[in-house]
Amino acid sequence: MNTSLKRIKVVCFILLSFSLEVSAPSEKLLTVLKFAPIEPYKQLAFAVGMVETKGDTLAYNPLEEATGVYQIRPIRLIDYNKRTGSSYTRNDLFNFEISEKIFLYFADQVGPYNFEQIARKWNGSGHLTTNYWYRIRQYL
């Protein structure tokens, strides 16, 4: 046998031996990683809910006709429905998920990086929103 053929056989033997050592495991496993969603407004939403109603989803303020945990007023509900094509009613606002969806929609209009501006715009306008922001910060 010539030398080059011997070398080829040796290299093939080494490669074959190596491939047998690094074969796939006998068990077939699939690992699926689930990551928590990014929720940039989570802390702020909690704080607003606590300041507005102490987290009471059934809260109602007859003076302002504000409903639900985030105390959504009729004008804001009308605005939301117009902008999104939704048709939620005041009674829907007692549902936490719907109220939160509306709050998050308006929070997203300002953006996730300015909690103070989001909170103050949620509360209204003027100098009274300064006190509101102070109360919100207590929960952040």
Quick one: pLDDT band at residue 18, thresholds 50, 70, 90? low
Quick one: pLDDT band at residue 68, thresholds 50, 70, 90? very high
Q: What's the CATH class of domain 42-137?
A: mainly alpha
C-alpha span between 22 and 113 (Å, rounded): 49
Helix (H) or strand (E) holding 10: helix 3-21
Give the contacts of 40 (CB within 8 A, at least 6 positions apart).
112
Does the structure show a pLDDT above 90 at 28? no
Quick one: pLDDT band at residue 134, thresholds 50, 70, 90? very high
Residues 26-38, mean pLDDT to the nearest whole number: 78
C-alpha span between 94 and 98 (Å, rounded): 8
Residues 22-37, mean pLDDT to the nearest whole number: 73
What is the value of pTM for the model shown?
Answer: 0.74
Domain boundaries defined on the chain? 42-137
